Copies of this chain bind each other. A is one copy, B any other.
Amino acid sequence: MEPAIEVTKLSFSYKDGTRALDRCSVTVERGTKVAILGPNGSGKSTLLLHFNGIHLVQQGTVRVLGKTVNQHNEQWLRSKVGLVFQDPDDQIFSGTVWEDVAFGPVNQGLRGEELEAKVRQALRFVNMEQYGHKVPYHLSYGQKKRVAIAGVLAMDPDIIVLDEPVAFLDPAGKRALFELLNRLNRQGKTIVTATHDVDLAARWADKVIILCRGRVLTQGEPALLTDKTIVQEAELELPTVTEIFAPFPDLCQPKTPVTVEEARSIIKQLL
């Protein structure tokens, strides 16, 4: 089976000449949870906008579910890859929650009963079913975020891409969001998030892709985040767990811990 997303030597420059991506090659396997890491300005958002065909490929190729992305399969692509923007106020533009969630499916040509069902299902999935008639302005930030995700889910995409999803969420909001993303993942959806939260990536992702100044520095297991050279070059930081164990190289054999569970099991062995 082809990977969900396969990017080969993708380069991209903005109109003002800024080179945002420089021969990036990344692969996202189907059904996985992938975190794209990198400091602000490393090209994360630009890369995400390629997955959905918002940025057209200038150089290199982007393949989604086995098809090479071009101008002619734009609409197909947008139904396969759902993009959740950073600021939900950019994404929720309709007057009511229901109408906003319906926007995508309506563009796909859904009407009547079928549309109703899709919207209801998406809202139920994000636990916002009773908010359909609400005006977006009155929702909390976390609720808006979930409505934005519902708007994408209603289009029934295979791949869901989120740009910096947790930046302004409080712990409860974060938990709800990740619970939601994991549920989606268990249903077979591929989830890609761009973030600069290493702890989150270490704890949650199956794979990390580290970007730095428009280039792919490295990609692979979350254990990559324990490599001090990589982390420093990408201007990131070590995950908290790794930081704790850094002065004890012996404990980091055979594997440096990155998650809370790994840390616990090392401590258990020590007792």
Contact B41 A172 (CB under 8 A): no
Tell me how many residues of A have a C-beta within 8 Å of chain B. Answer: 37
A78 at the binding interface (Cβ < 8 Å): no
16 cross-chain CB contacts under 8 A: A40-B142, A40-B169, A167-B167, A168-B168, A171-B198, A171-B236, A171-B237, A172-B235, A240-B240, A240-B241, A240-B260, A244-B260, A248-B264, A248-B271, A251-B267, A267-B270
Q: Tell me the smallest distance from the CB of A267 to a CB of chain B, in Å.
A: 6
Partner of A267, one of B164, B235, B267: B267
Interface residues of A in 217-247 (CB under 8 A from B): 235-237, 240-241, 243-245, 247
Does A120 reach chain B (CB closer than 8 Å)?
no
Q: What B residues does A2 contact at CB under 8 A?
A: none
* Partner among B40, B237, B247, B271 whose Cβ is within 8 Å of the Cβ of A140: B40
B247→A264 contact, CB < 8 A: yes
A185 to chain B, nearest CB (A): 21
Show the binding face of A for B, using Cβ within 8 Å: 39-41, 140-142, 164, 167-175, 196, 198-199, 235-237, 240-241, 243-245, 247-248, 251, 260, 263-264, 267-268, 270-271
Which residues of the other chain, B, contact A243 by a CB distance below 8 angstroms?
A: 260
Q: Across the two chains, which residue of chain B brings its CB closest to A261?
A: B244
Closest-by-CB residue of B relative to A239 is B240
In the bound assembly, the distance between CA atoms of A139 and B235 in angstroms comes to 18
Q: How close is A224's CB to chain B, nearest CB, in angstroms? A: 15
Residues of B within 8 A of A235 (CB): 170-172
Among B196, B241, B267, B270, contact of A170 (Cβ-Cβ < 8 Å): B196
Per the bound structure, the CA–CA distance linking A142 and B41 in Å amounts to 11
